[in-house]
Amino acid sequence: MIAKTLHIEEFKLESGAALSNVPVHYHQRGACDGSKPIVWTFHALTANSSPEEWWAGLFSEDGMYAHWDAICVNMLGSPYGSCSPLTHGGMSFPLTTIRDTVKAQLAVASALNIQHINTLLGGSCGGYQALEFAQAFTGSIDHMVLLATGAREMPWNKAIHEAMRLTLKTDPTLEQGDGSRGLQAARAIGMLNYRTAAQFNDAQPDDSEALEDFKAPSYIRYHGQKLVDRFDAACYYKLTEQLDTHHIGRGRGGLQSALGQITVPTLVIGISSDVLIPVAVQEELATNLPNATLKVVDSAYGHDGFLIEYPQINAAIAAFYHE
C-alpha cells in the first residue's frame, strides 16, 4: 500500500473548536477508480492505516481482500501521521469525536473523487467509524462488514477507558515527557479485556513449584512495553476519549432511528468469547439495521478474535457476498 497525506487548512470539530493545518494520513492500494472493487477499511484503536500489516489474513495471500483496491485513513488523534497530540499541542489537543475522524475520512474520499465503495470494513472502533461513514457518505455503498463492534460505546467500555486514563495520569511525565510508564500500565488494563480468563489460564501456565517469575505477569509487561515502543501516551489518552463519544443515535432521534436509516446490506460478526464488546452488542446492531445478518465466530481469544480467526471470518464474508 502507498502512504499518502491530505492537508486540510481549517478543520472544525464537532465540539465547535477548530484546528489549522490538519494532516490526514492514509494508505491506498490500487487506482481506486472503479476498475476493481474498493474496500474502505477503518482501523482499531492502536493500529495504523496499513491493514496489510495488522489484518494480513484478510488483505494478503488468500484473504478476501487480497486483490481488491483499498483505502484506510488514520484516525485523528493517532500517532501514525494524522493530526494528533504529536502535531498539535500534546495533552492540550482538543477533544475529537468519531464523527470528526469520519469527517476527515470523507474529505479523503472527496479528494480522490470516490463516489462508489463496494465494502466498508471495520472491527472494534473501526466499526464505529464504518457506521458513521455509512450515515454521512453521499455516494453509494454496496456492503458493510462490522466485526466485534457496536452502535454506541457502552458504560463498561467507558469505565475501562477511565481506568486507563487514571493510570496514564499517575505518570508525571505524561504532560512534559513520554508517559511511558503510564502507557505500559494502561495497556495492561486493556490486555485483560482483549483476551479471556480461560485463554490466559491455558496459554500462561506456571510450574506448580514456582514462587516468582510467573508467565502471565511477564506476558502483560511484554505487551505493555511493545506498545510503548510504537505508540504515544498522549495519543492513547486522547483516543480513549474519542471512543467514549461514539453513539450513532446522538442528534438523530436515538439509536433505533439512526440505525434504521442505514440500509446498506450488512454482515455483523461477533466473537463468542468477547468480554469487551460482547455478542449482545452485535445483536443490538443486527436487530436495528434493516438489512443485517449476524454471524457469531466461535473463538477462545476474546475481543482479539477479530484479528485472529481468519478462516472463519473469511468464510463468513464470502458467504455473505453470495447470499
Which residues belong to the active site? 124, 274, 303
Asked if 316 and 297 touch (Cβ cutoff 8 Å), the reply is yes
C-alpha 51/C-alpha 247 separation (Å) is: 25
Helix, strand or coil for residue 267?
strand
Residues with Cβ within 8 Å of residue 250, at least 6 apart in sequence:
none
How many degrees, rounded to 5, is the angle at CA 188 between CA 272 and CA 273?
Answer: 5
Q: Give just the sign of the alpha carbon dihedral 123, 129, 134, 137.
A: negative
How many degrees, rounded to 5, is the angle at CA 259 between CA 320 and CA 32?
Answer: 55
Phi, psi values for residue 254, rounded to 5°: 100, 170
Helix, strand or coil for residue 311?
helix
If you ran DSSP here, which 8-state letter would residue 307 be given? G
Residue type, 64: M
Asked if 116 and 91 touch (Cβ cutoff 8 Å), the reply is no
Rg (CA), the chain: 19
The bridge status of strand 18-29 relative to strand 2-12 is antiparallel
Q: Which of 58, 142, 112 is nearest to 310 (CA)?
A: 58
Helix, strand or coil for residue 187?
helix
What grid cell was written down for 275?
A: 468480554
Diameter of the chain by CA atoms? 64
Report the first-to-last Cα separation within the chain, whole angstroms: 30
